[in-house]
Structure 1
Amino acid sequence: MKLNCVVVDDSTIHRITIAKLVSEHPDLNLVGDFSNASETRNCILNKAVDLLFLDIEMPVQSGFDLLDGLKARPQIIFVSAKSDYALRAFEYAAIDYLHKPLTKDRFNKAAQKAIELHQMKKETPEEEGEFIFVKSNLKNLKIYIGRIKWVEAFGDYIKIITEDGTHLVLSTMKAFEAELPEDKFLRVHKSFIVNIDRVERFNSRFAEIGSTQIPLSRNKKDNLANAVNKASQSQ
């Protein structure tokens, strides 16, 4: 099965070049190419898109702006003439970061990463539940949503605390929060996101998960109470 791809670049020459590489690849299917974020967003909302080849510097809205406005994101391969954005790109769980001008060999290597990750997701047994992939120690790590207890900011990284241990991931809280189901997780503090189902008790200052007390920001108690109530009603 081919990956449905969209190419986004405000440069006509670069857009045509990337679209041609996609069309020539045996495991990729080009479903659209666009010069701006607005048209791209409409396409993603109306079609099944697996992989996005995304320029960063574009008029009106950047590639990052586009991603910030999406609730569900396809896999992302950034394409840019500058290396300045590489670190920020990994905050969006990018598969790869390609420099212009592209070579076919480098393009194919990036595409292969996306293909292999897509295949890994397909092969996961459904009974294991929802999961996401994060990059930890330069490897793609599969983490099951239900096993996450909480997420904690840690400088330029985040710590994901699960039943299986703690994983250190290069990301921002905002970027990782966007990857989590809104009905199952809540940002209770600038430095903490909790799995609502894991909260055992809470007051106006702390939420408790096991023996750990997680601080609540001002006025977050009511938000947590509402979230816990909704979760219990849906079970």
Structure 2
Amino acid sequence: MRLNCVVVDDSTIHRITIAKLVNEHPDLALVGDFSNASETRSCIINKNVDLLFLDIEMPVQTGFDLLDGLKSRPQIIFVSSKSDYALKAFDYAAVDYLHKPITKERFNKAVQKAMDIFQLKKEGVEEEGEFIFVKSNLKNFKVYINKIKWVEAFGDYIKINTEDETHLVLSTMKSFESELPMDKFLRVHKSYIINIDKVQKFNSRFAEIGNTQIPLSRNKKEDLANALNKP
């Protein structure tokens, strides 16, 4: 198993350094290295990219801007000379945050995290369908996507309600929404994302999942109706 990697950094020296580390790693394959977000976005759309080594401060568009423009994201390892963005990186479900200059030992540790997650996801798809990892109470939990009923905003956290349990996760709704398949989930309110398959009935104000009424924003009833009527 080898992960297809892309390196993004506007600094030629740092980009070459990271690309060299990728090429020397037996479990990584370099499919591209770029100095800007535009070229990177095109590569990710047209190629199978598993892992992105991403600088944050770049001209025109930042690393965060790049991720915001992607419908589907590979795993992300941020690379930066500043620690200021580490908390924000958490919102993008980053595998790791590497501080420049990067040592080979630290690089390999970050790669191993990505390898472990990739392998677990591969096994999970074969067993019970696609899943994601979430961190709750300082522990990582595997959450199967088809078991999620709805997600709700909870202050600085989100609450993930599944068929079996709930998880309180430090994340934004926007970030978590990007990890969910668009054809299965719908943001029906600023504070709620629902699994379309779990909706039992709805009206102009609420969608019902089990005994729970999920509020609908004024313009979301039609979107929900269209989603439910898709073949």
SS of the residue corresponding to residue 134 of structure 2 reads strand
CA contact (8 A) 2:125 2:131 kept: no
1:1-235 maps to which residues of 2 (within 5 A)?
Answer: 1-124=1-124, 126=126, 128-230=128-230, 234=231
* Cα offsets for 1:70-116 (capped at 9, x unmatched): 11111000011111111111111100011111111111111110011
Structure 2, gaps ≥5 residues long: none
SS of the residue corresponding to residue 119 of structure 1 reads helix
Q: Distance in 2 between matches of 1:195 and 1:42?
A: 30
* Cα offsets for 1:157-191 (capped at 9, x unmatched): 11110011101112111111111111211111000
Query: Is 135-144 or 147-156 further displaced after alignment?
Result: 135-144
SS of the residue corresponding to residue 124 of structure 1 reads helix
Q: Distance in 1 between matches of 2:156 and 2:85?
A: 15
Shift in alpha-carbon separation, 1:33–1:125, aligned structure 2, 3 A:
closer
Q: Distance in 2 between matches of 1:122 and 1:52?
A: 18
Letter of the structure 1 residue corresponding to residue 182 of structure 2:
E
Letter of the structure 1 residue corresponding to residue 212 of structure 2:
T
Report how far residue 126 of structure 1 moved.
2.4
Letter of the structure 1 residue corresponding to residue 31 of structure 2:
V
CA contact (8 A) 1:184 1:195 kept: yes
CA contact (8 A) 2:187 2:193 kept: yes
Report how far residue 125 of structure 1 moved.
5.1
CA contact (8 A) 2:7 2:15 kept: yes
Letter of the structure 2 residue corresponding to residue 199 of structure 1:
V
Identity %: 82
Q: Distance in 1 between matches of 2:23 and 2:139?
A: 28
SS of the residue corresponding to residue 7 of structure 1 reads strand
Report how far residue 27 of structure 1 moved.
1.2
Q: Distance in 2 between matches of 1:151 and 1:186?
A: 10
Letter of the structure 2 residue corresponding to residue 96 of structure 1:
D
RMSD: 1.3
Q: Distance in 2 between matches of 1:158 and 1:222?
A: 25
SS of the residue corresponding to residue 182 of structure 2 reads coil
Structure 1, gaps ≥5 residues long: none
SS of the residue corresponding to residue 124 of structure 2 reads coil
SS of the residue corresponding to residue 186 of structure 1 reads strand
CA contact (8 A) 1:132 1:144 kept: yes
SS of the residue corresponding to residue 93 of structure 2 reads coil
CA contact (8 A) 1:93 1:135 kept: no
SS of the residue corresponding to residue 186 of structure 2 reads strand
Query: Is 50-59 or 23-32 further displaced after alignment?
Result: 23-32
Report how far residue 135 of structure 1 moved.
2.8
Letter of the structure 1 residue corresponding to residue 206 of structure 2:
F
Shift in alpha-carbon separation, 1:153–1:119, aligned structure 2, 3 A:
same
Q: Distance in 2 between matches of 1:85 and 1:126?
A: 35
The TM-score normalised by the length of structure 1 is 0.94
Residue correspondences, number: 231
Letter of the structure 1 residue corresponding to residue 98 of structure 2:
L
Report how far residue 127 of structure 1 moved.
5.0
